[in-house]
Structure 1
Amino acid sequence: MITSRLRQLNRYREIVSLIAKYGYGYIIEEIGLRHLLTTKDKVILDFKEGNVKDYGSRLRSLIEELGPTFIKIGQLLSIRSDFLPAEMLLELEDLQDRVATVPISEIKETIIRELGYPVEEIFQEFNDDCVAAASIGQVHSAVLKTGEKVMVKVQRSGIHKVILTDLEILKDLSVLLEKRYKIAKDYHLSAVVNEISKSIKKELDYMQEARNTETVKTQFEGHNRIKVPTVYWDYTTSKILTIDAMPGVKITDRQITSMPIERKSKVADLLVEAFVRQIFVEGFFHADPHPGNLLYDCDREELALIDFGQIGRLTARMRFDATTLLIGLMKEDSSTIVKAIYRLAEVPPTLDESQFYDDIERIRKKYIHIPLGELNLGIAVQEVFSAAQHHNIIINSDLTMTAKTLITVEGIVKEIDPEINLLTLAKPYGEKLLIDRYNPANMGKRILENAETFSDSLTTIPGRMERLIDKLVEGEMKVDIRLLEMKELLRKFDRSANLVSFSLSLVALSIILLGMIIGKSFGEETFLTKIPIIEIGLAVAVVMFLRILYSIIRSGRF
């Protein structure tokens, strides 16, 4: 425990020193971590104060020096054209290729430790020069004893501990930034860091990546032009992944961008088909489609998808609603867009619905004069999600990942040929999705599924009510109320109390009137009956009633 805390403290100091070194010292000052700097670092911080030029270059250099965890985060940010300026994105894109390689001796030691045999006994050939170096591992080409050409991805030694330590520090820093910067709080930075942490932790397990690869492979079984590598399970562990060597070049390679327009259009169309099928039909998709993970074989005219460390998932319900959102965007229908968001997201009770609708309407009007063939679909979806986030509507992380994937694919399509548009290419697939949606058989299936779900809910209600009552009787009932909902809850309590007061006042008046009627009906006069007690009581009751009514109306909570 002490060793772990010391390692974390030392890493804290290293991160803070590097942040100051690259000119971001004002952040250190404002979140209160200056005390972690050495005297030398403080001098550097004071010297560089105010120097903000070459922001993107310094950010990339900082990330590279911070190490593998931050390189992975930088890679995730490099495809967020909605989040960072273009100049920064260009710098961060270099992180895809500029990663120091691991010595071959370490690679071979890991193979022996994981597979139980030296490289020479497992492979007929093994290339000591790596094909690609990533932040978590690196890839080597090889040939199995049985003759198959393969790619072997080997995890960097000790990377697991390094990444887990860095992720803990990042969580702490995100909380500090949210306390200091409103924009960090508005963008739920700590929640974003948690999502990134989950994603990176999954990438540390190559067995998970192997299972992802096989799942996507089944989606394109029988497809002549979209390929996914085969996993060799006998040579795969949590730290080693062995798959088919896929032929082809990076999809944005000059060989492709210099093709005639007809051939480029076929490449882009194949790419769009692959991702429309994964996202909107299968609901299980490649969530890191940067050009290095998409290979095109110019001779066979085949597209290969590789590296399934990051995966997005959409349930059938989410796919249905996501398609509704896209239909709303294409039809320029604000009501459809808003309804889709309500079904897709967690909407706070304090939402100003009219203001949110106005913001969606503003986005719609922004694109109203843009021809459908020129609309940037990914950016439009991201703008809708940003508007939702502005109103504290919580979008599911898989949906934001979907938007990110669409933006990335759209960017690759533009890089292949600026004249080609994603929405134009996707239109035939979208029309097919619409036909499938309103197919009577599919509609009947959805109705049946919803009926079954409703039926299941009805059958579980008595049991749940019984458990609820038992907890109330035993005093074990706990209520969890979020601060955001407290004001609305108190307002409803006030409204209920005012309604009760109003009702009781009406009852009191009714009793008095009834008493007057009964008194008159007896008709006998005595000393007491000569006193107009009922009239006096009625007058007092009316005055009190009017006073209560005035107070309730004035409070605005009736």
Structure 2
Amino acid sequence: MPFNRFNRNVRSLKRYRQVLSVLFKYGFGHIIEQLNIDYYIQLGKRAVTFGATSRDLQRLPHGARFRLALEELGPTFIKLGQLLSTRPDLVPEDIINELKKLQDHLPPVPLEEVQAQIHSELGYPAEDLFALFEMMPLATASMAQVHRATLKDGTEVVCKVRRPGIEAVIMTDLDIMMGLAYLANKHLPGADMYDPVGLVKEFRRSIQRELDFSREGRTIDRFRKNFEDDETIRIPTVYWDYTGHTVLTMEYVSGIKISNFDELTRGGHDLKLIARRGANSFLKQVFQFGLFHADPHPGNLHILEDDVICIFDFGMVGRLDDELKIHLTELLLAILHRDADQIITQLLYSGDLNDESSRKNLRHDLAEFIDDYYDTLLQDIKVGKLLFDFIQILSHYQIKFPPNLMLLSRSLIAMEGIGRQLDPHFNMVEQLRPFAEEIVKKRYSPGNMTKDIAGTIREYHALGKSLPKDIKEFINRINRNQFKIDLEHRGLERLVTDLEKSTNRISFSMVIAALIIGSSVVMQIDKGPSLMGFPVIGLFGYSVAGFLGFGLAIAILRSGRL
């Protein structure tokens, strides 16, 4: 039973009820009903059906109600919404636009609790570690808040501290999400296409990484190493003696926010140069290092002297392995060269498209997509939006792309937007082309071709060695009548439950009918004790039948199915 995955303590049940009531409040009760939740838990219908969606909420669009529900449910669900906002292959565009508005700011944690968290994590009181620790936080969010501080040697730092108790809340919510995902997979038609269980598992890995600040510290160190020879990019230093799982202490760097164009101009900064450097640094992350900053909004990019760009907040990063980088590069080049056949070839090679009719329809849609960009000058093409539109077409054909590709498209859109604001003539295509051509050049270099051929030969050699053994085992299983095919019936539990309910009600009705008929017969017999001239046994039978019938009627009305 999927719900044995839930933590069965009182807190989980209370939180579970709260989640369901919020979903009902915002008009998603029909989905809860489809999940057949009352079959799995002993809360009863009354636990999940109280309250109705107000008229004001009913007037709101579907996406707005979904966003408000996530905000009311708190940090974990807000983070889930932020993940879904990067998945145009799963979520319609109107809902994605709403999810981008999600706010995860919460009131600050009292300074005493922050200092207690530092003491618990680092083993020393905050006053022994810092010469100064500012009371008011620089920023607050759902999972952490940031304070300025000064080390004993006078070094200015920022200290990111996880909210006390947030991990327990998140773990409880993840249990609930996983239970709902298993139910959705079993009971919602077509849910397997979206893989809700896989989505929650992906989200669980992501948020567990985000909870561990020491992991973020190691990521910052990797970025520092990647850009150690690049004088145009600055990555803050992590102070490991003041860092742990719940506390991250970094160098304080003061600069001008990249979106503060007036101040940048007054400071004599070259906006066009900043645009090129920002794009170049991001494309390096993607195509050279395979590790990129996945949340490059203006608050995370500051400009220092000599137009140096300082990058902050590495809680959300994306990764591309070598194979995905090659596929992405060849796809982008095929799109920019307006070659629909090459795009199809790449999709076929990756094994995502095999139905002939789907292939023809996809080729037609891709040709129209390319035509939309055909008359557009290269300098006017927005690569991020182009990739985003391309992914939406593929999602229509249920072609799944790695989540990191969705993060990349969103990050590209953000970087291009910043670049065009800094320089109206900014051209991401020209920035992208050298990186893409270099990857293709390396891909088809004699050394890499030899390596690929050697790897293919090894794979075929291993296949040739194992194939006779596998065929022999297959034949032996057939000869021993041990060859089995497992069939999985999905969604039958609800049918079985409904049949059991119907059978019980019919049996109950027959008992009631028998009592009424039997009591009517007894009433005709003038024997035994009587009350007001009527046989007591007959009156008793009528009473029992009436009581049972009333209970049956209440149960049917509560079920909502007359």
Contact 2:283 2:435 in 1 (8 A): no
Mapped partners of 1:5, 1:445: distance in 2: 59
- Letter of the aligned partner of 1:52 in structure 2? R
Name which of 271, 278, 303 aligns with 2:278.
271
Per the alignment, residue 456 of structure 2 pairs with 454
**Unaligned 5+ runs, structure 2:** 489-562
C-alpha change, 1:342 and 1:3, in structure 2 (3 Å) is closer
1:18 aligns with 2:22: yes
Contact 2:353 2:359 in 1 (8 A): no
C-alpha change, 1:348 and 1:211, in structure 2 (3 Å) is farther
Name which of 304, 311, 335 aligns with 2:310.
304
Mapped partners of 2:62, 2:267: distance in 1: 38
Write the mapping of 1:282-321 to structure 2, written as runs, cut at 5 A. 282-297=289-304, 299-321=305-327
Q: Which deviates more from structure 2 when the two are superposed, residues 174-183 or residues 324-333? A: 174-183
Contact 2:232 2:307 in 1 (8 A): yes
- Letter of the aligned partner of 2:392 in structure 1? S
Per the alignment, residue 388 of structure 2 pairs with 382
Mapped partners of 2:269, 2:378: distance in 1: 21
- Letter of the aligned partner of 1:444 in structure 2? P
Contact 1:77 1:92 in 2 (8 A): no
1:438 aligns with 2:441: yes
Superposition deviation, residue 114 in structure 1: 1.0
What per-residue deviation string (whole Å, max 9, x for no partner) do you get for residues 20-63 of structure 1? Answer: 33454454455456996986985631544972327666555433
Name which of 103, 113, 138 aligns with 1:95.
103
Name which of 192, 203, 207 aligns with 2:199.
192
Secondary structure (helix, strand or coil) at the match of 2:230 reads coil
C-alpha change, 1:38 and 1:266, in structure 2 (3 Å) is farther
Mapped partners of 1:480, 1:394: distance in 2: 27
Mapped partners of 2:450, 2:7: distance in 1: 57
Mapped partners of 1:480, 1:215: distance in 2: 48
1:6 aligns with 2:10: yes
Per the alignment, residue 155 of structure 1 pairs with 162
Question: Normalising by structure 2, what TM-score?
Answer: 0.74
Name which of 294, 316, 329 aligns with 1:323.
329
Write the mapping of 1:130-145 to structure 2, written as runs, cut at 5 A. 130-145=137-152
Mapped partners of 2:397, 2:486: distance in 1: 20
Q: Which deviates more from structure 2 when the two are superposed, residues 452-461 or residues 462-471? A: 462-471
Mapped partners of 1:180, 1:331: distance in 2: 44
Mapped partners of 2:472, 2:130: distance in 1: 64
Mapped partners of 2:335, 2:159: distance in 1: 43
C-alpha change, 1:463 and 1:239, in structure 2 (3 Å) is farther
Secondary structure (helix, strand or coil) at the match of 1:142 reads strand
C-alpha change, 1:86 and 1:225, in structure 2 (3 Å) is farther
C-alpha change, 1:251 and 1:194, in structure 2 (3 Å) is farther
C-alpha change, 1:5 and 1:337, in structure 2 (3 Å) is farther
Question: Normalising by structure 1, what TM-score?
Answer: 0.74
Secondary structure (helix, strand or coil) at the match of 1:401 reads helix
Mapped partners of 1:368, 1:479: distance in 2: 54
C-alpha change, 1:481 and 1:306, in structure 2 (3 Å) is farther
Per the alignment, residue 146 of structure 1 pairs with 153
C-alpha change, 1:452 and 1:81, in structure 2 (3 Å) is closer
C-alpha change, 1:91 and 1:344, in structure 2 (3 Å) is closer
Superposition deviation, residue 72 in structure 1: 2.0
Name which of 341, 346, 349 aligns with 1:340.
346
Cα RMSD over matched residues? 3.7
Mapped partners of 1:140, 1:36: distance in 2: 43
C-alpha change, 1:263 and 1:347, in structure 2 (3 Å) is same
Superposition deviation, residue 256 in structure 1: 5.9
Write the mapping of 1:38-53 to structure 2, written as runs, cut at 5 A. 42=49, 44-45=51-52, 47-48=54-55, 51-53=58-60
**Unaligned 5+ runs, structure 1:** 484-558
Secondary structure (helix, strand or coil) at the match of 1:44 reads coil
Write the mapping of 1:510-521 to structure 2, written as runs, cut at 5 A. none
Write the mapping of 1:29-108 to structure 2, written as runs, cut at 5 A. 29=33, 31=35, 42=49, 44-45=51-52, 47-48=54-55, 51-53=58-60, 59-77=66-84, 89=97, 92-93=100-101, 95=103, 98-108=105-115
Mapped partners of 1:316, 1:116: distance in 2: 41
1:252 aligns with 2:259: yes
1:394 aligns with 2:397: no
Per the alignment, residue 535 of structure 1 pairs with none
Contact 1:17 1:37 in 2 (8 A): no
Contact 1:344 1:396 in 2 (8 A): no
What per-residue deviation string (whole Å, max 9, x for no partner) do you get for residues 458-516 of structure 1? Answer: 45345544764685588599889999xxxxxxxxxxxxxxxxxxxxxxxxxxxxxxxxx
Superposition deviation, residue 112 in structure 1: 0.9
Contact 2:379 2:429 in 1 (8 A): no
Contact 2:64 2:98 in 1 (8 A): no
What per-residue deviation string (whole Å, max 9, x for no partner) do you get for residues 299-349 of structure 1? Answer: 442211222222222122221221111111111111122222334464456
Contact 1:347 1:394 in 2 (8 A): no
Contact 1:55 1:88 in 2 (8 A): no
User: What is the total number of aligned residue pairs between the two structures?
Assistant: 477
Contact 2:118 2:161 in 1 (8 A): yes
